[in-house]
């Protein structure tokens, strides 16, 4: 049957099982919007700014594992989406973003609302396509989903000129797709896995350093089994939180710049480092020359380019993390070699000694609301079972430190790009995917204002998101660095003329609360959680001078932490 490009677009999304598409209409995509209007399978979610569409799709993808889908118009629609595309790219999130384009005959003519979407997005996508022939549209959409979701996932942009959506072609959706130049590796090299197991079994001071790849690769169960069989300590990166249960005794906390003392010290002193789905980011390694000076390094990753990029690796294993871990577990069960129990006992004793420093301690008797206390209370009251999204800054680090994630895909944050404005729209994506779940957006008065217009979207779709605004009146992380490294010259880190967040929330039809005393924190959070069907904006006026500890200053080694 012959269909218009716009109908082919909608049919293709149905074939891909897309339930939500986040977007914003405009001239170049009007045919597509008309086709979307005439069906109900794919629900379009209207945001208030294209950046939010990409973050919402991103939150949907991170929490479900299914690709997020976005549609925006040409020109400014596409350029507004770029921040969200780059955010997803840095954290390897599967996403397909459709951008409108001016009609083919006008491309390159500086037409109204024209931008070179392919050129602009090229450095921040896994791949992008310009559709120049309506007969190729369905196949291109199939390829886009395939590329976005396989191998190391990532965002894919499909740029569709307006005339293509009006032209007609025979529609048949390809069942399979093969691309001669794209064949992601799945299975790890058995010889390398055997070498890795040997090294692990001989380790005296091992540590498992695991990242977002474990979550993206659905390998949490295998990781947990491996750690327990071996009795090895586990540390998660910011992106990996939830990959290993945070309440498990083998878990030593997050590592890196604001990681725990025990995690960073164990990294620094380990003799065998097993990196799984992690990429040795500078926020993790600290000064690269001082990183894990005595360790033999095993690195499991789906992306060969991540291996030996920053740190030379001794045993590289390229493959799907879950697949590799399962083969590894078989190998461990199959041979009779036991881990060195005596050495491990000493190692755990050492780790417990580091643990006893209690590097996340804070003043519990303060007259001011401590942000850490808010998050601890939120954790307790939600029984650790909420989805928590965050923006970027101090509140993000505190959420990472004090909300103990026992399950993967519960902690949704922009780790790689560090995008302020991510928290609220990504929470919308999560709430659409899990309408009955508690979704908390932990944010600050700086970050929330970067996408605050989405309070309106939340009204339109009755999204009962719980916004935890840790309002210290400062761009806190900037202020902290200025305090430490710029002799307290607080350049532009103070936000004057803040809105009355309670009234602002109410003006959108939501519930707003302001909490100023530590004694009111728990009661207010209980009340918030009772308002199951409402968006509640909790404006906590917190201690203005609180800093995130511990901290590895930039250029420091992992053993050079500033403690409280």
Note whether 147 binds other proteins by CB under 8 A.
yes
Residues within window 312-351 making contact with other proteins, judged by CB under 8 A: 312
Catalytic residue (one of 11, 16, 22, 50): 50
Choice between 15 and 303, CB closer to other proteins: 303
Q: Exposed/middle/buried for 127, CB within 10 Å: 0-12, 13-18, 19+?
A: middle
Q: Rule CB under 8 A: choose which of 36, 130, 505, 552 binds other proteins.
A: 130
Task: Decide if 477 is catalytic.
Answer: yes
DSSP class of residue 468? Answer: E
Point out which span in 120-128, 284-292, 446-454, 499-507 binds other proteins (CB under 8 A): 120-128
Pick the catalytic residue from 239, 265, 428, 477.
477
Half-sphere exposure of 519 (CA within 13 A, CB side): 1
The region of 177-185, 251-259, 378-386, 390-398 touching other proteins under the rule CB under 8 A is 177-185
| Binding-site size, other proteins (CB under 8 A) | 18
Catalytic residue among 15, 43, 113, 514: 113
Q: What residue has token string 């001016």?
A: 102
Of 508, 414, 409, the C-alpha closest to 465 is: 508
Instruction: Determine how β-strand 272-276 pairs with β-strand 127-130.
Output: unpaired
Confirm if 68 and 153 have CB atoms less than 8 A apart: no
Applying CB under 8 A, the span of 18-26, 116-124, 187-195, 421-429 interacting with other proteins comes to 116-124
User: Known catalytic residue: 43?
Assistant: no
Q: Rounded to the nearest 5°, which phi and psi values hold at 410? A: -100, -20
Comparison of 417 and 529: residue with beta carbon closer to other proteins: 417
Q: Report the residue from 293, 304, 334, 523 that binds other proteins according to the rule CB under 8 A.
A: 304
Who's near 373: CB < 8 A, 6+ residues apart? 362, 364, 518, 521
| Measured distance CA(302)–CA(308) in Å, rounded | 13
Residue pair 312/292 in contact by the 8 Å Cβ criterion: no
Q: What are the two backbone dihedrals, phi and then psi, of residue 96, each rounded to the nearest 5 degrees?
A: -120, 120
> Which of 124-132, 363-371, 425-433, 478-486 is the region at the interface with other proteins (rule: CB under 8 A)?
124-132
* CA–CA gap between residue 272 and residue 207 (Å, rounded): 7
Q: What are phi and psi of 273, to 5 degrees?
A: -110, 125
Does 162 participate in catalysis according to the annotation?
yes
Active site residue 50: yes
> In sequence order, which residues have a C-beta less than 8 Å from that of residue 273 and are 6 or more positions away?
206, 207, 209, 267, 292, 295, 296, 297, 298
- The number of beta carbons lying within 10 Å of the beta carbon of residue 35 is 22
Residue 280 CB, nearest approach to other proteins (Å): 13
| Euclidean distance between CA atoms 315 and 308, whole angstroms | 10
Residue whose entry in the numeric block shows the structure tokens 């003799």: 271
Closest CB to other proteins among 158 and 467? 158
What is the closest distance, in whole angstroms, from the C-beta atom of residue 448 to other proteins in the complex?
Answer: 31
Tokens of 425: 């729209």
Specify the stretch interacting with other proteins by CB under 8 A; choose among 180-188, 437-445, 453-461, 524-532: 180-188
126, 268, 395, 479: residue in contact with other proteins (rule CB under 8 A): 126
> What's the closest the beta carbon of residue 169 comes to other proteins, in angstroms?
20
Which residues, in sequence order, are CB contacts of 345 under 8 Å at separation 6+?
none
Contact 93, 61 (CB under 8 A): yes
State which of residues 181, 349, 487, 497 lies at the interface with other proteins (CB under 8 A): 181
With respect to other proteins, which residue has the nearer C-beta, 126 or 510? 126
Of residues 162, 296, 370, 466, which has the active-site annotation?
162
Which CB, 127 or 189, lies closer to other proteins?
127
By beta-carbon proximity to other proteins, the closer residue of 7 and 159 is 159
Q: Which residues contact 481 (CB under 8 A, 6 or more apart)?
A: none
129 is catalytic: no
**309 is a contact residue toward other proteins (CB under 8 A):** yes
- By the rule CB under 8 A, 118 interacts with other proteins: yes
Span from 13-21, 276-284, 300-308, 445-453 in contact with other proteins (CB under 8 A):
300-308
Answer yes or no whether residue 249 interacts with other proteins by CB under 8 A: no
In this structure, are residues 540 and 371 in contact, taking their beta carbons and an 8 Å threshold?
Answer: yes
- The residues of the shown chain that bind other proteins, judged by CB under 8 A, are 118-119, 122-123, 126-127, 130, 147, 179-182, 303-305, 308-309, 312
- Which residues participate in catalysis according to the annotation? 50, 112-113, 162, 477
């Amino acid at each position: 049957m012959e269909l218009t490009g716009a109908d082919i677009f909608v049919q293709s999304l149905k074939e891909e099982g897309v339930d939500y598409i986040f977007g914003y209409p405009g001239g170049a995509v009007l045919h597509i919007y008309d086709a979307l209007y005439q069906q109900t399978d794919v629900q379009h979610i209207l945001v208030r700014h294209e950046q939010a569409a990409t973050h919402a799709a991103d939150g949907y993808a991170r929490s479900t594992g299914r690709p997020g889908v976005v549609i925006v118009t040409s020109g400014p629609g596409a350029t507004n989406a770029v921040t969200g595309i780059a955010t997803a790219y840095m954290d390897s999130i599967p996403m397909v973003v459709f951008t409108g384009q001016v009609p083919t005959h006008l491309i390159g003519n500086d037409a109204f609302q024209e931008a070179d979407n392919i050129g602009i997005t090229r450095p921040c996508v896994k791949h992008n396509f310009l559709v120049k022939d309506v007969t190729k549209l369905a196949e291109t959409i199939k390829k886009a989903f395939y590329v976005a979701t396989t191998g190391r996932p990532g965002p894919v942009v499909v740029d569709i000129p307006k005339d293509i959506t009006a032209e007609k072609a025979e529609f048949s959706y390809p069942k399979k797709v093969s691309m001669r130049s794209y064949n992601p590796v799945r299975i790890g090299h058995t010889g390398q896995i055997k070498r890795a197991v040997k090294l692990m079994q001989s380790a005296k001071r091992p540590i498992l350093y695991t990242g977002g790849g474990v979550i993206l690769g659905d390998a949490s169960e295998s990781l947990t089994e491996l750690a327990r069989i071996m009795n090895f300590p586990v540390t998660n990166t910011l992106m990996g939180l939830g990959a290993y249960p945070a309440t498990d005794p083998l878990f030593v906390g997050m590592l890196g710049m604001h990681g725990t003392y025990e995690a960073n010290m164990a990294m620094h002193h380990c003799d065998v480092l097993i990196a799984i789905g992690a990429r040795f980011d500078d926020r993790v390694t600290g000064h690269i020359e001082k990183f894990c000076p005595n360790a033999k390094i095993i690195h499991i990753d789906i992306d060969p380019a991540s291996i030996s990029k920053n740190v030379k690796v001794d045993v590289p294993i390229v493959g799907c993390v879950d697949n590799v871990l399962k083969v590894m577990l078989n190998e461990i069960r199959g041979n009779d070699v036991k881990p060195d129990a005596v050495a491990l006992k000493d190692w755990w004793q050492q780790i417990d000694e580091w643990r006893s420093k209690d590097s996340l301690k804070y003043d519990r008797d303060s007259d001011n609301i401590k942000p850490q206390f808010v998050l601890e209370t939120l954790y307790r009251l939600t029984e650790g079972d909420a989805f928590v999204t965050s923006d970027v800054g101090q509140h993000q680090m505190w959420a990472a430190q004090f909300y103990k994630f026992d399950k993967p895909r519960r902690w949704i944050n922009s780790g790689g790009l560090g995008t302020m404005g991510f928290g609220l729209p990504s929470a919308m994506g999560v709430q659409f995917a899990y309408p009955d779940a508690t979704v908390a957006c932990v944010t600050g008065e700086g970050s929330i204002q970067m996408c605050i217009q989405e309070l309106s979207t939340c009204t339109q779709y009755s999204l009962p998101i719980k916004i935890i605004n840790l309002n210290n009146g400062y761009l806190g992380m900037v202020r902290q660095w200025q305090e430490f490294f710029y002799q307290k010259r607080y350049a532009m880190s103070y936000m004057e003329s803040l809105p009355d967040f309670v009234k602002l929330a109410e003006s959108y039809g939501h519930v707003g609360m302001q909490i100023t005393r530590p004694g009111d924190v728990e009661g207010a959070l209980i009340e918030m959680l009772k308002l199951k069907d409402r968006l509640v904006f909790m404006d906590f006026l917190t201690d203005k001078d609180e800093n995130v500890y511990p901290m590895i200053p930039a250029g420091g080694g992992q053993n050079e932490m500033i403690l409280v």
